[in-house]
Amino acid sequence: MPLQQTVFIIIFAVSVFSFLFSCYQRLQLVAIGAPENRFDNPWARLLGVFSYAFAQRRVLARPYGFNHFLLFWAFIVLLLANAEFLIEGLISDFSLAALLPVALGHGLKLLFDIVSVVALGCVLVAFVRRLFFSPEYLGTDYTRPASGEALLILAMIATLMIAFFLLNAAHIALGQEVSWRPISSALAVLLQGLRGETLQGLAQVAWWIHALVLLLFMNFLPRSKHMHILTAIPNCYFKSLEKPNTQPRETFEKGARYGVSSVEQYSWKDLFDSLTCTECGRCQDLCPAHSTSKPLNPRKIVHDIKINLLKNGLARKEGATGSLPLIGAAKEGTICEEAIWSCTTCGACTSVCPALIEQMPKIVKLRRHLVQEKAQFPEELLNLFENMEQRSNPWGIAPSERTKWSGQLGDRTFKPGETEYLFFVGCAGAFDNRNKHVTVALATIMDAAGVSWGMLGKEEQCCGDSVRRLGNEFVFERMAKANVSLLKEKKVTKIVTQCPHCFNTLKNDYKQYGLEIEVLHHSQLIDQLAKTGRLKLHQQSGQGKVIFHDSCYLGRHNDTYEAPRAVLQAATGRLPGEFGRNRENGFCCGAGGGRMWLEEQSGSRINLERVKEAMAQQPDTLCVSCPYCMTMMEDGLKDLGLGDKVRVKDIAEVTAEALR
């Protein structure tokens, strides 16, 4: 056996062992996480792999994603080329082409050559982007080492491609290979003037450079953020088959732990997410809290979970405490409380992540621990929690006040078996003076269309959206059970509500409590009534220039984008104008996730950011489809001194005006 082959076999064996051991070390840390079933419905999961991993659906959502798409597929094709290279190093005279039909063997050589130059081109584009045109979201203080890793990986890939071309060009120049490699052949022409010994030496050097860099690359992956090259495809398989618009229930019993206070309390999928994060920065780019200089950065949340896992994982596995707290002062591997409370649960991070990491649910789990085990939460929430427990609404107003808005409508009590729709008014629609106008408008619309509807009146309770997103699962559990019991007792089969938060909770959260009924947001109902001709609208242009703001809980969490726009088109005769950031890329008003009841203590105000964006379109009317959005937009306009210049209206109000 030649000395070169013997040396390579030894290096290869050590490298493979080191690679497998590194993967084992990482995956055994993932195994300390809590159980979670991500193995159901394999066909749907495989479809997700093809859509998000192989078709790179979210990567291609941005222009630069095409470069990554090409590099990804080049990597897939070159796996075969590199496998052939390694086997050739282990087994003398091995040739993949010799095992295949001649045409196929030549075709593979042609493919490897073309794909290699494509990969090299993609790497050069990535280098230029990183060094000269790097987007702001690609770099922060804590990601500087990771950026260095990215440049190192790019350098390794470039080295592999260059060594590949030099090796093949030398063989072609020596006459040792029939040319089916156009790029290598072009390079071979430049080498024709070299002596045979020089070409042999060049081939040897190129071979060893390719071999050593390839094995080094393989071993570097599990110990860097580029482990996503190994884990992203399985992470796409284990993705949530439903949108993360709800959270799992907790079991309330003696000795139970609530939420997450240490890394092993996360599920294995949460921990696998942390190792899969590519740190691409897309989540932080869309995060409203980060964009307004709050301490929250969803990318850093996942990064801190990973660092905490790497430092504490083995200790936690053995039952020890670990040296690094998961929640505490802001430092690498520890998440500060202000960041935890800054989240609006808008879902922007989860909707844009190309590796399908679920950032927002991890934050809610941290809130559950702080609220339920530590009673450690912002002071403003104390009144909210007390009011919810005692009077089932955020303001603590007497339940008898819930029906005051409907005094002139007569008896509108829901009658089981007779009334078609339950109008779930919601707390804002019943108690907030501004949103009462929306409630009246919706009642007027349903009456005009001949819809059979009724209310629960004093029996209606808060749906519990805010308390659940704030981490008070114990109070939410009580509220949800009471509401589900009442709705079943009333034999309700259809619900309409004007609040996207009520809509999401009734539709998605309450399924966990055995309630599966038809729930419509008022935009969906009005759209249906207009399209079927039951609602006769007289299009009017008195709204001036209209611009529409997407509610996160209606749009991003429940994929309802067209209905509110169709309603506005039916009422005004034209589609509404759009914010610069709209639909899936819409920017939160700042009130979701219970932030409606909290002051913003740091950075700029999220609602002001959104209103300033609206003013770029110079609208006369800013339309919304959510009570929270209504409040935040009006407050933002007042703060900017524009309250008397721009109107804020719900789509139901615009529609009701078109009835006249």
pLDDT digit string, tens, across residues 30-40? 999 999 999 99
Predicted pLDDT at 142? 54
Q: Is the pLDDT of residue 408 over 60?
A: yes
Q: Is the pLDDT of residue 238 over 70?
A: yes
Exposure pattern of 450-470 as b/e (b: 16+ CB <10 Å)?
ebebbbbbeebbbbbbbbbbb
Q: Per residue in 42-61, pLDDT tens?
A: 999 999 999 999 999 999 99
Please give the torsion angle defined by the CA atoms of residues 307, 313, 319 and 324, in that order, rounded to the nearest 10 degrees: -20
Task: State how far the Cα of 549 lies from the Cα of 627, in Å rounded to an integer.
Answer: 12
pTM exceeding 0.85: yes
Give 119's contacts (C-beta < 8 A, 6+ positions apart): 70, 71, 74, 75, 78, 157, 161
Q: Per residue in 249-264, pLDDT tens?
A: 998 888 889 999 999 9
Q: What's the average model confidence in pLDDT over 187-211?
A: 86
Give 600's contacts (C-beta < 8 A, 6+ positions apart): 292, 294, 590, 606
Q: Which amino acid is at 607?
A: N
Predicted pLDDT at 600? 92
Q: What's the average model confidence in pLDDT over 528-533?
A: 94
Q: How much is the mean pLDDT over the chain? A: 91
Residue boundaries of the structural domains of the chain: 3-30+62-237, 263-374, 383-657
Which tokens sit at 60?
A: 């291609």
User: SS3 for 267?
Assistant: strand
Percentage of the chain lying above the pLDDT 90 cut: 74
DSSP 516-546: --EEEEHHHHHHHHHHTTSS------TT-SE
Per CATH, 3-30+62-237 and 263-374 having the same topology is answered no
Predicted pLDDT at 141? 52
Query: Superfamily assignment of 263-374 in CATH?
Result: Alpha-helical ferredoxin (1.10.1060.10)
Which of these, 311, 327, 331, lies nearest to 362 by C-alpha position? 327
Q: Per residue in 145-192, pLDDT tens?
A: 556 788 899 999 999 999 999 998 888 888 777 667 888 888 888 887
Give 552's contacts (C-beta < 8 A, 6+ positions apart): 344, 345, 346, 347, 348, 500, 586, 588, 589, 592
Which of these, 160, 177, 159, lies nearest to 168 by C-alpha position? 177
Exposure pattern of 111-132 as b/e (b: 16+ CB <10 Å)?
bbbebbbbbbebbebbeeebee
Q: Which of 183-187, 227-231, 256-260, 495-499 has the lowest mean pLDDT?
A: 183-187
Predicted pLDDT at 429? 96
Predicted pLDDT at 143? 52
Please give the torsion angle defined by the CA atoms of residues 353, 355, 360 and 361, in that order, rounded to the nearest 10 degrees: 150
For domain 3-30+62-237, give the CATH number. 1.20.950
Q: Which of 3-12, 286-295, 358-367, 628-637 has the lowest mean pLDDT?
A: 3-12
Percentage of the chain lying above the pLDDT 70 cut: 98
What is the phi-psi region of residue 470: left when phi exceeds 0, alpha when psi lies from -120 to 50, beta otherwise?
alpha
Task: State how far the Cα of 574 lies from the Cα of 538, in Å rounded to an integer.
Answer: 13
Q: Compute φ and ψ for 58, nearest 5 degrees.
A: -80, -30
Predicted pLDDT at 144? 53
| Residue 206: Cβ within 10 Å count | 20
Contact 631, 548 (CB under 8 A): no
Please give the torsion angle defined by the CA atoms of residues 418, 422, 423 and 425, in that order, rounded to the nearest 10 degrees: 130
Q: Per residue in 443-460, pLDDT tens?
A: 999 999 999 999 999 999
Predicted pLDDT at 4? 78
